[in-house]
């Protein structure tokens, strides 16, 4: 029973967490280094550029849309930064799951509530 209460409290805290703030990041460097990763089509957590390794990412995922940099996750929820593969496409969604918020020209914060 205590485990269920603890899980409920943690889930509530994560759901109420503050969205990622653009002022916390060097978005220009993150975009530049993410584009290099996207173009190389490979990810190695041991060889990340400084702008991304300084974020202490939990996970990186490259797909058809772009590069997901997971900064926090718990059970099925996660949040982080996302850099589009195609630089001219807008990818903002509000109130959806996942939710994307534009931080700069090509860098977004994202959150998945699960």
- Is residue 92 within 8 Å of residue 104, measured between CB atoms? no
- In our burial notation (b when 16+ CB lie closer than 10 A, e otherwise), range 41-77 reads eebeeeebeebbeebebeebebeeebbbbbbeeeeeb
The answer to whether position 52 is within a domain reads: yes
The answer to whether position 1 is within a domain reads: no
Residue 22 has pLDDT above 60, yes or no: no
Lowest mean pLDDT among 3-7, 26-30, 76-80, 100-104: 3-7
The answer to whether position 105 is within a domain reads: yes
The answer to whether position 108 is within a domain reads: yes
pLDDT at residue number 69 = 94
The answer to whether position 81 is within a domain reads: yes
Q: Average pLDDT in the 62-73 region?
A: 92
Domain count, the chain: 1
pLDDT at residue number 44 = 79
The answer to whether position 93 is within a domain reads: yes
Q: Average pLDDT in the 6-30 region?
A: 59
The answer to whether position 9 is within a domain reads: no
The answer to whether position 73 is within a domain reads: yes
Residue 52 has pLDDT above 90, yes or no: yes
Q: Which domain holds residue 61?
A: 19-112
């Amino acid at each position: 029973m205590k485990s269920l209460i603890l899980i409920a409290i943690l889930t509530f805290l994560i759901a109420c967490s503050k969205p990622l703030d653009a002022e916390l990041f060097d978005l220009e460097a993150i975009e530049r280094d993410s584009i290099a990763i996207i173009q190389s089509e490979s990810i190695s957590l041991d060889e990340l550029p400084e702008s991304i390794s300084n974020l202490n990412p939990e996970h990186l995922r490259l797909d058809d849309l772009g590069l997901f940099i997971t900064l926090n996750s718990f059970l099925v929820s996660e949040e982080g930064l996302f850099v589009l593969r195609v630089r001219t496409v807008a990818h903002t969604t509000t109130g959806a799951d996942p939710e994307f918020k534009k931080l700069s020209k090509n860098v977004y914060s994202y959150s998945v509530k699960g």
